[in-house]
Amino acid sequence: MSEPTWKKIAKDIIDSIKAKKLKTNDKILSEHGLSDQYQVSRMTARKAIDQLVNEGILFRVHGKGTFVSNISAITSTLEIKNIADEIQNRGHHHRLSIIELKQTDSPRDIQHLFDAQYSLPFYSLMIHYEDELPVQVEERWVNSCAVPFFLEQDFTQMTTNHYLSVVAPLEKARHRIQATTASETQAEFLAMKAGEPCLQIVRHSYSNNQLISFARLTHPADRFQLSSDE
């Protein structure tokens, strides 16, 4: 299946930013200009721009046009792989189901991570699917002071990992992979039996010398893949 044209337009814009053909605060082509260049409808061009604006890569100024955001957001040298990209790179379809998305207190065992913050962290609970098979429960607490617009994002269009890598480029991360068993709730989400083996990644992500998010990523042991680039 060929890539949708709007995705190609968005990718070309990102590639131009990475290659420094477009720099911070540079104005990009208008919807009309992009539709002419790619021989597509303005709606298609608008979808590409909307996606990049939602991801924080571009920003709009009313009556002026669309401009490039701070390029450090997409040129961070430290990167955590995006589960959606990993699934798609395997030739499979990724889907996300949002269970909870709110601002709330953190559990007692991790409250100390956010004690220094002035407001309660954001919380998200999501299920990632690979070809309609649930492969990950993502439970995440996010620094609401550092990422104030987290709750306003459409995470059916981009993962939390992708969004956070844009607005708070990763500088440091700590990971722990541990064996565990599925709770009744996790088992229901992952279409397995309670007590069956799982592997869980516990991740602390930092940017600008502060904790940005704490995540627990739980996978059925028989559906877990860990890979790295050498």
State the burial class of residue 71 (Cβ atoms within 10 Å of its Cβ: 0-12, 13-18, 19+): middle
* Alpha-carbon gap, residue 117 to 131, rounded angstroms: 39
Determine how β-strand 94-103 pairs with β-strand 122-130. Answer: antiparallel
Distance of CA 191 to the CA centre of its chain: 24
pLDDT tens digits for range 205-225:
998 888 999 999 999 988 766
CATH 3.40.1410.10 range(s) for the chain read 83-223
Total-model pTM: 0.65
Stronger pLDDT, 25 or 34, i.e. the higher one = 34
Q: What's the rounded mean pLDDT across residues 139-166?
A: 90
Average pLDDT, rounded, for the chain: 85
Task: Write down the CATH superfamily of domain 83-223.
Answer: Chorismate lyase-like (3.40.1410.10)
CATH topology of domain 5-74: Arc Repressor Mutant, subunit A (1.10.10)
pLDDT given at position 133: 94
- Parts of the chain belonging to CATH 1.10.10.10: 5-74
The pLDDT confidence band at residue 229, using thresholds 50, 70 and 90, is very low
Q: Each residue of 77-95: pLDDT tens digit? A: 445 678 888 888 888 999 9
